[in-house]
């Protein structure tokens, strides 16, 4: 009985997925340190940064589509460019609208893949080629062929990821979080096993992108089959207008896309800057330190991330009481989990990787502590931002963009005119976000739930009337 309950628990499966992701990273990282030279290790970090484009190239459409699917699942008749739909009495999903969203998503991501093909194909190739030539000039033994093949494989993996993995977004929007998580777990296992086998076989820089391509094939196949099984037969869509639906998505999507791109500048472009200024060895220290702290955030965020589709449904019903009840215990679980895991990254990981990697290192202790603080605050910011966005309003976009650009400029100034070295890339974002974002948006998000931040955190959910009893909520 206990095993069956655990097997059917979305939380448990989400933990399994995040353990697989973080665990595979923790295992792969020592393998990369052992099997790759210092130059190849740095090049792998650069390729990882470029692969991060797959997360932002949809230009904000992914979260918007996810949110609109939640609204359609709650019975919404129409969608608004800003704000939640008008409350409806129906509790049944609007399947006609769900099919329209599916068809719009399918066509949209085809166009995005074509755009990415030309943009990343040109820009990414120029970046990688410059790094290869520079490193070869400094270290003549550095191979010219393998990094180029690895970039070609990474490029194809990114295109496949964008073209196929939107099915996973759609499946989560249907509040099939457990199934989507199981599919992602299967794909992650395949990616991990293939990566390890290829690394141990001497495939080097080609190992991870090849494994990523196989993982994308698996995730697309099973997520697609599940989505089509859940939806009824496709209705006639004579009145479906892609441009009209995209026009509703666009106002919030492009704003979110710009913010995601500016955030990408902080995390991933910093790796490229570090590679150019301090070459690939220093870039590897920064890149993998950020990755490990990212694993801690990813593991901690699972407590809340699995509930966003359901929270979106409650938001469409203006049921703030139920949102508070769902969020409150998970906020504290997220905080506690992050502190435990971040402590392991700061105090255990450096010595372990130094021993396994034969002298290869992460960033110094001081910078790891700063990274931990930055990651913790960013995790809370992400939670608050996503909560606000479930109301289909994004007031944090322009402050976020201004902060991100300021952060990047400040990091470059510190990099140029101080002796902080790569630590400037850590300090810059902390200073920029502390000016406004870190202290403004958490109270703002709490007010959207008809409470205050202090009262919500330390007194628990308000005793507000619920619109619907919990047992009648869609997707519980």
pLDDT at residue 368 tops 60: yes
DSSP state of 307: T
pLDDT at residue 189 tops 80: yes
Burial 165-189 (b: 16+ CB within 10 A, else e): bbbbbbbbbbbbbbbbbbbbbbbbb
475 confidence band (pLDDT: 50, 70, 90): very low
pLDDT at residue 472 tops 50: no
Q: Domain segments of the chain: what residues?
A: 8-472
DSSP state of 269: I
What's the confidence (pLDDT) of residue 476? Answer: 34
CA dist., res. 376 & res. 336, Å (int): 11
Burial 216-247 (b: 16+ CB within 10 A, else e): bebbbebbbebbeebbeeeeeeeeeeeeebee
- The rounded percent of the chain whose pLDDT value lies above 70 is 85
pLDDT at residue 454 tops 50: yes
- Which of 24-33, 58-67, 200-209, 224-233 is predicted least confidently? 24-33
471 confidence band (pLDDT: 50, 70, 90): very low
**Roughly how many angstroms between the first and final C-alpha of the chain, as a whole number?**
20
193-205 confidence digits (pLDDT tens)? 999 999 999 888 8
- The rounded percent of the chain whose pLDDT value lies above 90 is 25
CA dist., res. 163 & res. 217, Å (int): 10
The stretch 456-464 carries a mean pLDDT of 79
The stretch 287-316 carries a mean pLDDT of 84
What's the confidence (pLDDT) of residue 90? Answer: 63
Residue partners of 284: CB distance under 8 A and separation at least 6: 38, 41, 42, 44, 45, 360
The stretch 324-347 carries a mean pLDDT of 93
- Which of 62-71, 74-83, 265-274, 346-355 is predicted least confidently? 265-274
26-49 confidence digits (pLDDT tens)? 677 778 878 888 778 778 878 877
What's the confidence (pLDDT) of residue 473? Answer: 40
CA dist., res. 215 & res. 259, Å (int): 28
What's the confidence (pLDDT) of residue 242? Answer: 81
430 confidence band (pLDDT: 50, 70, 90): very high
The stretch 137-160 carries a mean pLDDT of 86
């Amino acid at each position: 009985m206990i095993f069956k309950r655990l097997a059917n628990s979305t939380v448990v499966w989400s933990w399994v997925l995040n353990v697989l992701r973080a665990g595979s990273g923790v295992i792969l990282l020592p393998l990369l340190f052992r099997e790759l030279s210092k130059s190849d290790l740095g090049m792998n970090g650069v390729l990882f940064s470029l692969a991060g484009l797959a997360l932002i190239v949809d230009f904000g459409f992914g979260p918007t589509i996810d949110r609109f699917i939640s609204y359609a699942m709650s019975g919404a008749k129409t969608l608004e460019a800003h704000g939640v739909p008008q409350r409806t009495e129906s509790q049944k999903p609007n399947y006609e609208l769900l099919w329209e969203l599916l068809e719009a998503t399918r066509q949209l991501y085809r166009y995005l893949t074509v755009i990415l093909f030309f943009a990343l194909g040109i820009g990414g190739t120029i970046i990688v080629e410059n790094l290869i030539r520079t490193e070869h000039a400094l270290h003549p033994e550095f191979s010219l062929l393998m990094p180029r093949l690895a970039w070609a494989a990474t490029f194809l993996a990114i295109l496949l990821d964008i073209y196929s993995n939107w099915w996973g977004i759609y499946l989560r929007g249907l509040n099939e979080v457990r199934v989507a998580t199981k599919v992602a777990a299967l794909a992650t296992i395949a990616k991990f096993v293939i990566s390890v086998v290829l690394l141990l076989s001497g495939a080097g820089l080609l190992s991870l992108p090849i494994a990523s391509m196989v993982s994308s094939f698996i995730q697309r196949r099973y997520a697609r089959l599940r989505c089509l099984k859940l939806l009824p037969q496709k209705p006639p869509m004579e009145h479906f207008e892609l441009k009209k639906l995209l026009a509703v998505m666009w106002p919030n999507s492009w704003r979110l896309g710009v913010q995601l791109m500016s955030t990408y500048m902080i995390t991933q472009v910093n790796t490229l800057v570090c590679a150019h200024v301090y070459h690939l060895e220093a870039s590897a220290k920064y890149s993998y330190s950020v990755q490990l702290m990212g694993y801690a955030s990813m593991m901690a965020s699972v407590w809340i991330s699995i509930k966003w589709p359901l929270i979106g449904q409650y938001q469409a019903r203006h049921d703030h009481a139920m949102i508070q009840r769902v969020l409150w215990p998970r906020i504290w679980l997220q905080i506690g989990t992050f502190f435990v895991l971040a402590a392991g990254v700061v105090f255990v990981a450096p010595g372990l990787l130094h021993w396994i990697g034969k002298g290869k290192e992460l960033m110094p202790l001081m910078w790891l502590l700063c990274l931990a603080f930055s990651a913790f605050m960013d995790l809370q910011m992400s939670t608050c931002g996503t909560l606000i966005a479930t109301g289909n309003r994004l007031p944090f976009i322009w402050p976020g963009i201004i902060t991100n650009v300021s952060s990047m400029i400040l990091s470059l100034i510190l990099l140029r005119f101080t002796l902080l070295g790569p630590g400037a890339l850590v300090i810059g974002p902390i200073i920029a976000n502390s000016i406004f974002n870190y202290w403004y948006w958490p109270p703002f998000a709490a007010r959207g739930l008809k409470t205050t931040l202090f009262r919500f955190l330390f007194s628990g959910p308000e005793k507000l009337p619920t619109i619907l009893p919990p047992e009648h909520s869609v997707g519980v």
